[in-house]
Amino acid sequence: MLNQLTISELAVKLSKREISAREVTQACLDQIARVDGKIHAFISHDPRDALAQADAADKEISSGATPVQKPLLGIPIAVKDVLAVKNQPLNCGSKILEKFISLYDATAVEKLKAAGAIVFGRCNMDEFAMGSSTENSAFGVTKNPWDIARIPGGSSGGSAAAVAADEAIATLGTDTGGSIRQPAALCGVIGLKPTYGRISRYGLVAFASSLDQIGSFTKNVSDAAMMIGVMSGVDPRDSTSVPQPVPDYVAALDGKVKGLKLGLPKEYLIGGLDPEVKAAVDAAVKQLEKLGAEIVEISLPHTDYAVATYYIVATAEASANLARFDGIRYGLRVDGNDPAELYSKTRGAGFGAEVKRRIILGTYVLSSGYYDAYYLRAQKVRTLIRSDFLKAFETVDAIVTPTTPTAAFKIGEKSGDPLQMYLSDIFTISCNLAGNCGVSVPCGFTKSPRLPIGLQLLGKPFGEETMLKLAHAYEQSTNWHREKPPISAAV
Amino acid sequence: MAAAEIDIKYVAHLARIALSPDEEKKLAAQLGGILGYIEKLNELDVTNIEPTAHAVPMVNVTRADEIRPSLPHEDALRNAPKQANGLFIVPKIVE
């Protein structure tokens, strides 16, 4: 089935005209019709628009366009509901933006379109990307394709589930504290968070501006390298995008990992780590050693402080960023006698519980009398966390850890206890605070029920080539990434 | 940074979020738990440590000061909850 193929497999078949972009798109739409009632990876999608884009791609192919010019020509790619796609809805999983239609394309989306991609569908997410389970969406819960009684992870849960269930060839997500890598691990797909500043954030609805980064969900590492290559680069519309040359990431996947030094942080292999996850990660580390990587034990001593630091920095930034949702220029409005009453009523009615919790926490840590004790202190601890990584990267080329402490948990299991939910991101959060890149690749399954386990590789800032080289070499020596959830395979 | 009792009514007012009494009660308890966890940061000595606001610090990023097309007027109003005569309509501010 065409919807099960990778970008590179489809690109070959499309350019030889063995298949059409319409057939590929139709296969994805058919799969959505067949399985998305159970999974709910999508908030909305427009089949007619997707097919019209496919027909346009087919026209280009027949008039001679090649994958070299347009590497994503005819490839259907779905987008997390936090990224602007011109004339498509943009809800951020929130009631406050229920009727919003985007006026322009995000830079990442513009680049995908320029590379020929069919950009379709709005993937479900935790409201404003705040959550680790996609239970916080105002549009319903997304289910894990491997077990629909369980969460897909979050906040990009819809994007991860859509790729795992073969409803799209690849998807975009965003990662502020693990929101790409964690759901990728729990759904058994590849989730790549590039270095902060690698991909422009223009057209991404901001949650925490110093941490947010756009990335991809794909079925293998080579497709991830392709996606990031297309989307990367400096953008005058995002002053935090970094003017660093964009290398050929696919060419970096040459299997030459012999002699690369891989750090194993001792702080990541303690307490709370599920024994099955530990066993899978241990086996993956042995496999990387067998491939020629040199494993070095390292220490990231401030790991234990990352979650606390994150929930000050991220909520502080969110409280400022989400001030724009005031019921005046767009979105929901609940009338009041004066503007202040209108703001409060609109925000009280429009935001869900987790968003309110974080805005209020962020407001508190920035408020007069508490700023130094909370926000400034957290920024200083962030320096310590970042220094840990900079020091480690003096001796190692990349770092290897579990992506999550456990496999996917049950729907409802942690939704009543925000702190327990926050702690499920314990292995992914430091990376955003430090500004590194990270990727999660499948590295095994739990026995019963059979649920995916993720291996996380962390690279230096702008060290995507080496990190992806290692991820690719590991992936190519295993078959974990080829496994399909029963719901996708069954016809 | 003592495990402060958060004045939920006051902070919700600062954040311009109307809360029901039930929400106030629930949030105060949850935030108390989260702030208790955050106390952990007090274990660290941060004397002489510079704060990090951005992981990839860049300063004075500017672009050419040129006139460029911006969002057309009618587009800017397209998602407005209330508009008339090319303007956003808001409640009366001045008597």
Q: For each of chain A's 491 residues, which pLDDT tens digit applies?
A: 999 999 999 999 999 999 999 999 999 999 999 999 999 999 999 999 999 999 999 999 999 998 889 999 999 999 999 999 999 999 999 999 999 999 999 999 999 999 999 999 999 999 999 999 999 999 999 999 999 999 999 999 999 999 999 999 999 999 999 999 999 999 999 999 999 999 999 999 999 999 999 999 999 999 999 999 999 999 999 999 999 999 999 999 999 999 999 999 999 987 789 999 999 999 999 999 999 999 999 999 999 999 999 999 999 999 999 999 999 999 999 999 999 999 999 999 999 999 999 999 999 999 999 999 999 999 999 999 999 999 999 999 999 999 999 999 999 999 888 888 888 899 999 999 999 999 999 999 999 999 999 999 999 999 999 999 999 999 999 999 999 999 987 65
Minimal C-alpha gap between A451 and chain B (Å): 30
Residue A279 CA, distance from chain mean position: 25
Interface test with A, best of B7, B9, B11, B17 (most A CBs within 10 A): B17
Q: Of B27, B81, B82, which has the smallest distance from its Cβ to A360's Cβ? A: B27
For chain B, give the longest Cα–Cα distance: 58
Minimal C-alpha gap between B2 and chain A (Å): 9
A133 included as an active-site residue: no
Helical spans, DSSP H, in A212-258: 221-231
**A:208-267 residues touching chain B, CB 8 A cutoff:** 210, 236, 239-240, 242
Whether A435 has its CB under 8 Å from any CB of chain B: the answer is yes
Name the active-site residue from A132, A133, A179, A424: A179
Q: Of A195, A305, A336, which has the smallest distance from its Cβ to B44's Cβ? A: A305
- Residue of chain B whose alpha carbon sits nearest to that of A375: B51
Q: Per-residue pLDDT for B57 more than 90? A: no
pTM greater than 0.95? yes
Answer yes or no: are the C-beta atoms of A171 and A79 closer than 8 Å. yes
A477 included as an active-site residue: no
Q: Of A308, A332, A339, which has the smallest distance from its Cβ to B91's Cβ? A: A339
- Residue B70 counted as domain residue: no
> Helix, strand, coil % (nearest 5) of chain A?
45, 15, 45
| Contact criterion met (CB < 8 Å) for A379 and B31 | no
Query: What CATH number is given for A2-258 in this structure?
Result: 3.90.1300.10
Predicted pLDDT at A491:
55
Q: Of A363, A418, A422, which has the smallest distance from its Cβ to B15's Cβ? A: A363
* Assigned token pair, B10: 């006051």
User: What is the domain-level CATH number for residue B31?
Assistant: 1.10.20
Domain boundaries, chain A: 2-258, 305-379
> What is the sign, positive or negative, of the torsion defined by CA atoms of A35, A41, A47, A51?
negative
**Tally of domains in chain B:** 1
Which is nearest to A94 in space by CA: A315, A355, A316, A329?
A355
* Residues, chain B: 95
Predicted pLDDT at A271:
74
- Residue B95 counted as domain residue: no
Answer yes or no: are the C-beta atoms of A137 and A126 closer than 8 Å. yes
Q: What is the ipTM of this complex?
A: 0.94
- Residue of chain B whose alpha carbon sits nearest to that of A303: B41
| Contact criterion met (CB < 8 Å) for A342 and B91 | yes
d(CA A334, CA A249): 48
| Contact criterion met (CB < 8 Å) for A210 and B8 | no
A253 phi and psi, to 5 degrees?
-85, 70
Q: Per-residue pLDDT for B94 more than 90? A: no
B91 chain-A contacts, CB cut-off 8 A: 335-339, 341-342
Q: Which residue has the tokens 């909850």?
A: B81
d(CA B36, CA A17): 61
- Residue B15 counted as domain residue: yes
Q: What is the DSSP letter of A124?
A: -
Q: Give the residue numbers spanning the domain of B20.
A: 1-44
A62 included as an active-site residue: no
Predicted pLDDT at A490:
63
* Assigned token pair, A454: 């993720």
- Residue B52 counted as domain residue: no
**A:82-111 residues touching chain B, CB 8 A cutoff:** 99-101, 103-104
A356 chain-B contacts, CB cut-off 8 A: 17, 19, 23, 27
Q: In A76-152, where do the E strands start and end?
A: 76-80, 118-123
Q: What is the DSSP letter of A3?
A: G
| A28 half-sphere exposure, CB direction, 13 A CA radius | 34
Q: Of A311, A342, A377, which has the smallest distance from its Cβ to B46's Cβ? A: A377
| Contact criterion met (CB < 8 Å) for B63 and A347 | no
Q: What is the DSSP letter of A324?
A: G
Minimal C-alpha gap between B86 and chain A (Å): 12
Q: What is the DSSP string of A383-452?
A: HHHHHHHHHHHHH-SEEEEESSSSSPPBTTSSTT-HHHHHHTTTTTHHHHHHT-EEEEEEEEE-SSS--E
